[in-house]
Amino acid sequence: MKQGYIQVYTGDGKGKTTAALGVSIRSLVAGHRVYFAQFIKGVQTGELSLADSFPQFTIVQYGEGRFIDGKPEESDIVAARNGLEICAEVLRSGEYDLVVLDEVNVALHYGLFDESEVIAALTGRAPNVDVICTGRYASPELVEEADLVTEMKKIKHYYAAGVRARKGIEF
């Protein structure tokens, strides 16, 4: 049985979700099953259609489809907590080879659930399951728990020049 590891992609640079999607595709073409949970997100994005091409790819959004600016609304908390509960079961089941908790770091930052709950879900996973946690604001505790941590650092971004998010590139 293979050993699963915890990876964290964090930082203020672009590419955290994109990197997790890249690993997901690599895993899918190797014949693995992937569960991709998106916290906070709840809008139509390009990656949602991956399931049309890969039946072993499951993607679920646990968000209200809006940015949280300051204090989250109760519906944001309910959606995230429900998602984490489902993800904890998915992690325990061992049914998937790779589980991505997209934007889980941001959900933690906004207090949508407790860090102890996330750590318990990660440490309670089946031993063969790899996990990727994405989002800005990775906590020191999550970084300590992880086996691999990558920080995306923004050096330059075309958003500063007024370029808006582009379909197929940013979403």
Residue 48 domain flag: yes
Residue 54 domain flag: yes
Q: In this structure, what CATH number is given to the domain that contains residue 70?
A: 3.40.50.300
Q: What residues does 38 pair with on adjacent strands?
A: 61, 102
Residue 112's domain comprises 6-161
Residue 164 · residue 132 · CB < 8 Å: no
* Res 1 pLDDT > 70: no
Which of 6, 4, 5, 8 shows the shortest CA–CA distance to 149?
8
168 compared with 106, residue with greater pLDDT: 106
Residue 29 domain flag: yes
55 compared with 69, residue with greater pLDDT: 55
46 compared with 158, residue with greater pLDDT: 158
CA distances from 14 to 20, 84, 155 (A): 12, 24, 10
Taken in order 51, 11, 3, 88, is the CA torsion positive or negative?
A: negative
160 compared with 104, residue with greater pLDDT: 104
Q: How many structural domains compose the chain?
A: 1
Residue 168 domain flag: no
Residue 170 domain flag: no
